[in-house]
Amino acid sequence: MDANEVLKAVKAGTMSVEEAEAFFRRKPFEDLGFGKVDVHRKLRTGAAEVVWCEGKADDHLLRLYEHIISSEGEVLGTRATPHQAELIKAHFPEAFYDPISRILKIEKDGKLHRGLICVCSAGSADLRVAEEAALTAEFLGNKVLRVYDVGVSGLHRLLSKLEEIQKANCIVAVAGMEGALASVIGGLVSKPVLAVPTSVGYGASFHGLSALLTMLNSCANGVATLNIDNGFGAGFMASQINLAICQGGSHE
Amino acid sequence: MDANEVLKAVKAGTMSVEEAEAFFRRKPFEDLGFGKVDVHRKLRTGAAEVVWCEGKADDHLLRLYEHIISSEGEVLGTRATPHQAELIKAHFPEAFYDPISRILKIEKDGKLHRGLICVCSAGSADLRVAEEAALTAEFLGNKVLRVYDVGVSGLHRLLSKLEEIQKANCIVAVAGMEGALASVIGGLVSKPVLAVPTSVGYGASFHGLSALLTMLNSCANGVATLNIDNGFGAGFMASQINLAICQGGSHE
Amino acid sequence: MDANEVLKAVKAGTMSVEEAEAFFRRKPFEDLGFGKVDVHRKLRTGAAEVVWCEGKADDHLLRLYEHIISSEGEVLGTRATPHQAELIKAHFPEAFYDPISRILKIEKDGKLHRGLICVCSAGSADLRVAEEAALTAEFLGNKVLRVYDVGVSGLHRLLSKLEEIQKANCIVAVAGMEGALASVIGGLVSKPVLAVPTSVGYGASFHGLSALLTMLNSCANGVATLNIDNGFGAGFMASQINLAICQGGSHE
Amino acid sequence: MDANEVLKAVKAGTMSVEEAEAFFRRKPFEDLGFGKVDVHRKLRTGAAEVVWCEGKADDHLLRLYEHIISSEGEVLGTRATPHQAELIKAHFPEAFYDPISRILKIEKDGKLHRGLICVCSAGSADLRVAEEAALTAEFLGNKVLRVYDVGVSGLHRLLSKLEEIQKANCIVAVAGMEGALASVIGGLVSKPVLAVPTSVGYGASFHGLSALLTMLNSCANGVATLNIDNGFGAGFMASQINLAICQGGSHE
Amino acid sequence: MDANEVLKAVKAGTMSVEEAEAFFRRKPFEDLGFGKVDVHRKLRTGAAEVVWCEGKADDHLLRLYEHIISSEGEVLGTRATPHQAELIKAHFPEAFYDPISRILKIEKDGKLHRGLICVCSAGSADLRVAEEAALTAEFLGNKVLRVYDVGVSGLHRLLSKLEEIQKANCIVAVAGMEGALASVIGGLVSKPVLAVPTSVGYGASFHGLSALLTMLNSCANGVATLNIDNGFGAGFMASQINLAICQGGSHE
Amino acid sequence: MDANEVLKAVKAGTMSVEEAEAFFRRKPFEDLGFGKVDVHRKLRTGAAEVVWCEGKADDHLLRLYEHIISSEGEVLGTRATPHQAELIKAHFPEAFYDPISRILKIEKDGKLHRGLICVCSAGSADLRVAEEAALTAEFLGNKVLRVYDVGVSGLHRLLSKLEEIQKANCIVAVAGMEGALASVIGGLVSKPVLAVPTSVGYGASFHGLSALLTMLNSCANGVATLNIDNGFGAGFMASQINLAICQGGSHE
Amino acid sequence: MDANEVLKAVKAGTMSVEEAEAFFRRKPFEDLGFGKVDVHRKLRTGAAEVVWCEGKADDHLLRLYEHIISSEGEVLGTRATPHQAELIKAHFPEAFYDPISRILKIEKDGKLHRGLICVCSAGSADLRVAEEAALTAEFLGNKVLRVYDVGVSGLHRLLSKLEEIQKANCIVAVAGMEGALASVIGGLVSKPVLAVPTSVGYGASFHGLSALLTMLNSCANGVATLNIDNGFGAGFMASQINLAICQGGSHE
Amino acid sequence: MDANEVLKAVKAGTMSVEEAEAFFRRKPFEDLGFGKVDVHRKLRTGAAEVVWCEGKADDHLLRLYEHIISSEGEVLGTRATPHQAELIKAHFPEAFYDPISRILKIEKDGKLHRGLICVCSAGSADLRVAEEAALTAEFLGNKVLRVYDVGVSGLHRLLSKLEEIQKANCIVAVAGMEGALASVIGGLVSKPVLAVPTSVGYGASFHGLSALLTMLNSCANGVATLNIDNGFGAGFMASQINLAICQGGSHE
């Protein structure tokens, strides 16, 4: 149960005020010894803590998954190895692992997907980052349109999909090498573009630096940039934007 | 008159279909000799062309302002010098110039400001970038809350404003030197944060590189980064997000 | 008279073998004290020495112009200041100076322009570099098509000119900021593209580094890159390619 | 069959207009699920899609090779591993693999090689990049002269080959470490030089950055630079230039 | 026996002046063939030589440990591998090895721990550096308070510990990614902060460069920076400061 | 009156509890419109707000000085221009300005200077940074020993002063160019060394980057690094350390 | 036999002019297929070709060793692996391999060692580079004094050897991390210092960049810098200087 | 009188031992208040202190010149402005100022110039650095051969001078832009080459970084590199080498 559900339960009368108070008396993070799980994060920032799996020891990873599932009912992990996927699946057979994006997640059933986020990628090697963004956005409750392999060296591929892209509330543009995709899309749509440089390339791509600078210098407006290979971050922020649009704003 | 007004006029019956056709028959950009004004940009990307004043010759600048005012009824210019402000004011006495942000604009009367964007800045030297963002967002029809001089070296200043900040649909975080403001805000709110590094600082700030890297590496989620000193870009994108939220999304 | 003209005169019988021998007995460079004029350069590399005016003292500059005109009958100078233009015009009233490209040249009459080179530029601030390329190519005997202000933030401007661009034997693509123009053109044409990054931009453009990296990492084939702001170099090399195509190759 | 062959067949009367129409009705790229094969690329940019083998999964690679062979009758792959070579050879026994350049290709018989491209390299460690350029150019129908191990630390090696080098229509100069070869060649010939920095070296070569900067700053004219280790790109562009010269230009 | 103990023994009358002279007649370093052990370092800089284990050959490492133990009675080693730990434990069963910090030490019994140093770290991946600092400081005779996993993306975690942190004489702030922790702590306390950037992160963290620049540009006063991942150096310098405060200064 | 004085007055009976309450009821910062003066900073971090004069408008600067003097009785400003010095002196004739360090201060009479900080500098061009550190430390109540022009190219100059340097509780080492001074001092003393790289140098000093990296990589222990040219920061932190040592620590 | 020996033999009457002519008729380099051995290099630059073993295929390496031994009677190889050492020893049992410096050489007996070169190194990890310099210099006929482990963090180690160091004709200073050793030595001696930065260090040493910049910015005169880890280059150039001094100059 | 002259006077009987003792009793540096003049430097490093004029205040500069002339009888200053030249000439009419190299010197009459140093430069813009090297070497008593404007884009210019260059005992190679001159010379001569990168160039020359990296990565042996624009340092070190060769070495 998460904070939102507790509050709704109180409103609905299915939980007493005393029980709710007990819930909130828990201190805002719980110390597992090797790290503090940020229990109130969903309340504060709109989403539960996500597990960065890379480099986590087996037992730490398992305890994190167990802890978050017990409080949230679901969990999203990124940069998981096949070994970590085996480990979690052994305890949670319902876990899903995608070897390309390295997402390892356990998800509630019947999740509603709202609005529309479009994830575009330039080359087939950018897929792993694009899918990290797409799967993150879906986990967080967004509809996702994937438009892959539409790099600027063959513009017709992108232009043929333009009408669909323009329907999205937010676009994630993933590209390595020269990273021009974000600028080109930014000039063709009226929606915010979250640009993700990837480390795809060689030589003067300097592990993504070239694409990063390209995106920061975009001559098109409405483009902001995430860290190199940060597909998760783009999916997360696209979700913030798309879901806020779906709900409509409180100010007028 | 801009494209949107033409279409509304057609709907309202105050303009004939033939007149509207004539409007749209204009080619999508007009060549002024020294540059092409992108006439259909508002239709395509949601906002009319903005004038980057820096380095423009006097006559070019004047013709650009005249051209855009004639088609849009208003114009926004950035990075204008006091001399350029004098020049434009001599022809358009209603022009407004702010010497801190270097915004030089002529704005329609009675503009409606909707939703809420919060612009936060770390130090008093970041003001010029923060005001560029704020004035841009206001020009584009957004309500703006300014929360300035709330750098992380005195956290209580930021925390004392937190409740107000959390009401905004989108936050622009402007900071130079170590640029930590964006991460700290990102960890405290559930709304998208557009981070703008500034070139404020000296030595190892390397003209904004330090703040730029800080923001790209934000450990908080929901933070995307603009180019160094790009207050305009942040105000523009924040407007895209805030106005979309005000209108509500078309997908559900 | 240059080497080529000497040889043709010999063939035509208007110069004796002895006179030609005297011409070629001159040592391959002449020492003006402050620098060596490379007399045989046209013979060796296909073009006479070009004067880099920046920082040259007045008397050195004048003597260089005099020397090259006396041997070649014309001279091309780059990066000249208005003061230098005045100086040369005072001695050579037929001199031409373009304040945008900073080209300062004296050109033979009735020059034939052959083939076609297309010079494209992204923004109006890139004009100074684009014109340096275009004027250089024209000086060297090439027809030049200028397609300016076609940056990728408004793709329709570029696409509307595509048919004309495709007719050129070589394309020069000039762009600052994110420099995506070269990649996009490279994906649309079958001719070699010489990419020139410019120092136009601010912040993370790092004085042209961003555009330079973009162009080096072009995902389109057939793109090679010149130094930042090196319009002259691009015009020179485009001329080598275009003129060679006009003449046709000797190998089959 | 490729587009050019279709058109020639129509002209020759061996294919009906209806069949040709069917050919061109195919959409300009075909989606293999994991990536889009750019079918019309040869028509648009003068060469069929080339396969970047690095990191491709076995089944994807095989399907790409099959697809391109079916439409083009031949295929060029770069950066292939010995394992990938085994895989492709098992299905296409006529495939050729060069372990130094890592080129993996299947080539039509009796290909005509035209004009002349000269590929020069500085040290024996630069061979892998030089051969990538040379084999690419040969695949695309060019004659290639190899002049290897002629680095500037022993100038006589280069000078002894100068007469042969000067006969080429285009020169590819491959060098790591200090990368001075391109400048030196550029000063000795009148043909365009495509410079390829390599990652050969250690310490302050910074993985090819030193050679890259050297080449971009060439004091000789007629030198343009490719990405570090991009032998393929140089061979491709040299082919564009050489073949255009062989055909002669359409403009006069 | 170390120099300090010798001098105290002389004062106490348990060692004759002649014996002490013999001790100091030893030259100030001893040459083990593969390196010079700096025997007088404790006298000169306040602490005995510490062994940097990384890359040391087995026999060199063992001889260094033996040598230092024989003169100091204890030894501190950093960046030891598990294999090196096995090696030393085989000879010195009392050796202690911590696989996270990679500290490998043999310590005198009954060591007094004085004053208070607080070691804060941002994320769980920064633990290895934080523990290197903490264990070093403890070895050198300081009390250490560990406050881990208090990164700025969840400020409440840090704020909840503030009162304890403020009691320390010196604070070590360890953070990777954007490294904002040092600035935030610097603004909240009146004690010197030693900032240690870590190489934790990916993409634009550039192996710790981002956190390093952040810390150098701290907008809070009282923050100085160590090398990336240099937990040992921070623990050492914090000890210098804390122990000096415990002893009180000699000047007034 | 500052917070500390208020509390002492309460203890001494010269101020009523009610008056003290009124003092503390003031909100922790006061908004001057153009910036927030951090009134409680002295309470929180041990020192009142210091004015960074660079780029401040005349009226803002004057109001800041007036405000801080009214609450603290003194004020320290850094990076002041001669013009700013004239301005402040016109209002506060007792103001002191040092054109080398650019310190502009008004100081309480009869300040006690305690302990000892040693400020060392390498070359005469580093003086401006060294003096900024020294004057800052003196303003904050420390005794300062200046040891200037002792760069490592003439070691005897440094060694001749060693005995005096070793008496300090903390050493500030200021050096540009190769910045080796900090390492050398670090190896000779047992006290903490705060290293300040300066932008003195040319070419590969890259505006202080070289000295910065040298200091971060110091092979001597007990060295931490400040930002390039940050003499103020070093003086401030040295004061924190020296005064804490003078007072002695509360923990044992 | 090398060129010098041929000429001496002619002078001595033990070789006929015809035989010598035959020797010099050999073209100045011999093409082994995979690389050109520069036969006349010793004549031109004073030393025979040295083999860079890294990455050489077994058969290429063997043929290079055989070829150089046949013409020079000895051979020097650098950066050899243990496997390559085994290979060469199997064919040339007299070969010598040093696993630290990775020098693999076969040397003429009874070589005279002249003059004096001093090789200093800072830390024990710099040994591999220092030994590469020392063994190279010995191979080329120089006496070498090794002064190792004299880094600036313990200056007395260096000062205790100063008198010996000052006797050398040329000093090689090898250091990683902050690289201050070269500056310090440069200030203490009147002989040229060849500085070799090493990649020893971590974090902000950036693989030797820090030490490289330190050495380039040396505040002491008479210091020039080699590439990172280039011990061979330093040994070679020190030999040029030392042997020239031993022979005395021809100009007066 | 300098130390050497004192000692010779003692030997010659023109100075008593007591007078000489008085001379040497002067402390090894004299404190002028604003800096320490290193009196014994000539004794220790072979050359008197040289004045870096840049940024020195008028009175400091004058006192430095006076002081060094009084002890040495001559003085060498670098990077002097025309204003500083006027100042010194007003007091020392015999002073010589060269506006290109910015050398400002007063030199003893009848100085003997020995041996031979060759200073080569690539382009006419490199002259200021080349002349700084040449004039420094001449001041220190060396014969200098100037070979200017011999950049690698016209190799014949360099090759035509090769015989003369090879006669020098040491070569200084000065080049900006791509800096290839040092490598090319290094491959043609058997003498040590001191390479000086200059900041000449634009764009990707990055103020001399490109030439610096080129020289550090020289594929020719016997090349060591000075700081960007450090003509003085090259002239100084070339003098050390040349004069040592002239004297012949003491070791055999």
Which of G206, G205, G54 lies closest to G132, judged by CA?
A: G54
Give the DSSP per-residue string, chain F. --HHHHHHHHHHTSS-HHHHHHHHHS-SEEE-SS-EEETTHHHHHSS---EE-TT--HHHHHHHHHHHHHHHS-EEEES--HHHHHHHHHH-TT-EEETTTTEEEE--TT---EEEEEEEESSGGGHHHHHHHHHHHHHTTEEEEEE-S--GGGHHHHHTTHHHHHTSSEEEEEE-TT-THHHHHHTT-SS-EEEEE-----GGGGGGHHHHHHHHT-SSSSEEEPPTT-HHHHHHHHHHHHHHHHH--S--
Q: Give the CA radius of gyration of chain G.
A: 20
Is it the case that residue C175 has pLDDT exceeding 90? yes
Chains in contact with C, counting 3 or more C-beta pairs less than 8 Å apart as contact: A, B, D, H
pLDDT of residue H251: 46
pLDDT of residue E145: 97
- Residues of B whose CB is below 8 A from E225: none
Measured in whole angstroms, the distance separating CA A80 from the mean position of its chain's CA atoms is: 14
> Given its phi and psi angles, is residue H162 left (phi above 0), alpha (psi -120 to 50 degrees) or beta?
alpha
pLDDT of residue F154: 80
List the single residue in D36, D55, D212 with the smallest CB-CB distance to A149.
Answer: D36
Q: Mind telling me how many Å the CA of E89 is from chain F's nearest CA?
A: 27
CB contact under 8 A, B202 and F55: no
Tracing tokens 């008198």 back to the chain, one arrives at G163
Number of separate helices (H) and strands (E) present in chain C: 11, 11
- Residues of B whose CB is below 8 A from C202: 227-229
Is it the case that residue E186 has pLDDT exceeding 60? yes
Average pLDDT, chain E: 86
CB contact under 8 A, E204 and A199: no
Residues of B with CB under 8 A from a CB of E: 122-123, 151-155, 177-180, 183-184, 186-188, 201, 203-206, 209-211, 213-221
List the single residue in A153, A206, A221 with the smallest CB-CB distance to C219.
Answer: A153
CB contact under 8 A, C55 and H125: yes
Average pLDDT, chain G: 86
Is it the case that residue H91 has pLDDT exceeding 70? yes
Please indicate whether chains E and C are in contact, defined as at least 3 beta carbon pairs under 8 Å.
no
F65-121 confidence digits (pLDDT tens): 999 999 889 999 999 999 999 999 999 999 999 999 999 999 999 899 999 999 999
List the single residue in D190, D225, D249 with the smallest CB-CB distance to C115.
Answer: D249
List the single residue in G178, G186, G203 with the smallest CB-CB distance to F183.
Answer: G178
- Residues of E whose CB is below 8 A from F114: 251-252
- Overall average pLDDT of the C141-156 stretch: 92
Q: F251 pLDDT band (50/70/90 cuts)?
A: very low
Here the tokens at position C223 are 């793109």
- Rounded to whole angstroms, the Cα distance separating G200 from G183 reads 18
Chains in contact with H, counting 3 or more C-beta pairs less than 8 Å apart as contact: C, D, F, G
pLDDT of residue B183: 93
C107 Cβ neighbours under 8 A, 6+ residues apart: C74, C76, C96, C139
E4-41 confidence digits (pLDDT tens): 565 666 667 777 666 655 555 444 445 555 555 554 55
H163 Cβ neighbours under 8 A, 6+ residues apart: none
pLDDT of residue F49: 79
Residues of A with CB under 8 A from a CB of C: 122-123, 151-155, 177-180, 183-184, 186-188, 201, 203-206, 209-211, 213-221
Average pLDDT, chain H: 86
Residues of E with CB under 8 A from a CB of A: 124-125, 127, 148-150, 154, 156-157, 160, 202-205
Q: Mind telling me how many Å the CA of A2 is from chain E's nearest CA?
A: 18
pLDDT of residue C27: 43
B206-242 confidence digits (pLDDT tens): 999 999 999 999 989 999 999 999 999 999 999 999 9
CB contact under 8 A, F213 and G219: no
Question: Which chain E residue has its CA at the smallest distance from A226's CA?
Answer: E204
Share of chain F above pLDDT 90, in %: 66
H140-152 confidence digits (pLDDT tens): 999 999 999 999 8
CB contact under 8 A, A202 and D227: yes
pLDDT of residue H8: 64
CB contact under 8 A, D192 and C225: no
Is it the case that residue C53 has pLDDT exceeding 50? yes
Which of H134, H125, H98, H147 lies closest to H198, judged by CA?
A: H125
pLDDT of residue G248: 80
CB contact under 8 A, F154 and H29: yes
Q: B32 pLDDT band (50/70/90 cuts)?
A: low
List the single residue in E125, E154, E203 with the smallest CB-CB distance to A229.
Answer: E203
G136-177 confidence digits (pLDDT tens): 999 999 999 999 999 988 888 898 899 999 999 999 999 999
Q: H35 pLDDT band (50/70/90 cuts)?
A: low
Here the tokens at position D130 are 């030089």
List the single residue in G34, G41, G228 with the smallest CB-CB distance to D204.
Answer: G228
- Rounded to whole angstroms, the Cα distance separating D235 from D144 reads 10
Q: B13 pLDDT band (50/70/90 cuts)?
A: confident
- Overall average pLDDT of the C38-42 stretch: 55
B105 versus D123: the higher-pLDDT residue is B105
Which of G164, G121, G122 lies closest to G143, judged by CA?
A: G164
CB contact under 8 A, C213 and A220: no
CB contact under 8 A, G213 and F219: no
- Residues of G whose CB is below 8 A from H224: 194, 224-226, 233-234, 237
Is it the case that residue A243 has pLDDT exceeding 70? yes
Question: Which chain A residue has its CA at the smallest distance from C200's CA?
Answer: A217
pLDDT of residue C155: 85
CB contact under 8 A, H246 and G249: yes
- Rounded to whole angstroms, the Cα distance separating B17 from C222 reads 47
What are the residue ranges of helices labelled H in C46-174? 58-72, 82-91, 127-139, 155-159, 162-166
Is it the case that residue C26 has pLDDT exceeding 70? no
- Overall average pLDDT of the G178-203 stretch: 94
List the single residue in D45, D143, D220 with the smallest CB-CB distance to C221.
Answer: D45
Q: Mind telling me how many Å the CA of E17 is from chain F's nearest CA?
A: 24
C218-229 confidence digits (pLDDT tens): 989 999 999 999
List the single residue in A29, A55, A207 with the smallest CB-CB distance to E154.
Answer: A29
pLDDT of residue H201: 92
Q: C19 pLDDT band (50/70/90 cuts)?
A: low
- Residues of H whose CB is below 8 A from F149: 35-36
pLDDT of residue B33: 54
Q: Tell which of D157, D160, D177 to mutate to test the G interface (max G CBs under 10 Å).
A: D157
List the single residue in F44, F115, F249 with the smallest CB-CB distance to E115.
Answer: F249
H108 versus E153: the higher-pLDDT residue is H108
Tracing tokens 């319902």 back to the chain, one arrives at A94
E187-223 confidence digits (pLDDT tens): 999 899 999 999 999 999 999 999 999 999 998 999 9
Angle at B28 between CA B22 and CA B30, to 5 degrees: 95
- Residues of E whose CB is below 8 A from G154: 29, 36, 38, 41
pLDDT < 50 stretches in chain D: 25-29, 251-252
CB contact under 8 A, C202 and B35: no
Q: Mind telling me how many Å the CA of C250 is from chain D's nearest CA?
A: 7
- Residues of E whose CB is below 8 A from F225: 216, 224-226
- Rounded to whole angstroms, the Cα distance separating G83 from G105 reads 14
- Rounded to whole angstroms, the Cα distance separating H196 from H119 reads 10
CB contact under 8 A, B154 and F212: no
Measured in whole angstroms, the distance separating CA A237 from the mean position of its chain's CA atoms is: 7
CB contact under 8 A, D229 and A203: yes
The lowest-confidence range among E3-7, F8-12, H11-15, H186-190 is: E3-7
pLDDT of residue C106: 96
Please indicate whether chains F and D are in contact, defined as at least 3 beta carbon pairs under 8 Å.
no
pLDDT of residue F191: 94
- Rounded to whole angstroms, the Cα distance separating C199 from C230 reads 10
Q: Record the pTM.
A: 0.88
CB contact under 8 A, C41 and H154: yes
Please indicate whether chains H and B are in contact, defined as at least 3 beta carbon pairs under 8 Å.
no
A42 versus E184: the higher-pLDDT residue is E184
- Residues of B whose CB is below 8 A from A224: 194, 224-226, 233-234, 237
The lowest-confidence range among C96-110, E158-172, F27-41 is: F27-41
pLDDT of residue C114: 95
E41-89 confidence digits (pLDDT tens): 555 556 677 999 998 889 989 999 999 999 889 999 999 999 999 999 9
Longest Cα–Cα distance of chain D, Å, equals: 62
Q: Tell which of G26, G32, G34, G212 to mutate to test the D interface (max D CBs under 10 Å).
A: G34
How, if at all, do strands B96-98 and F51-52 pair? unpaired
Which of B46, B75, B78 lies closest to B227, judged by CA?
A: B78
How many residues comprise chain B? Answer: 252
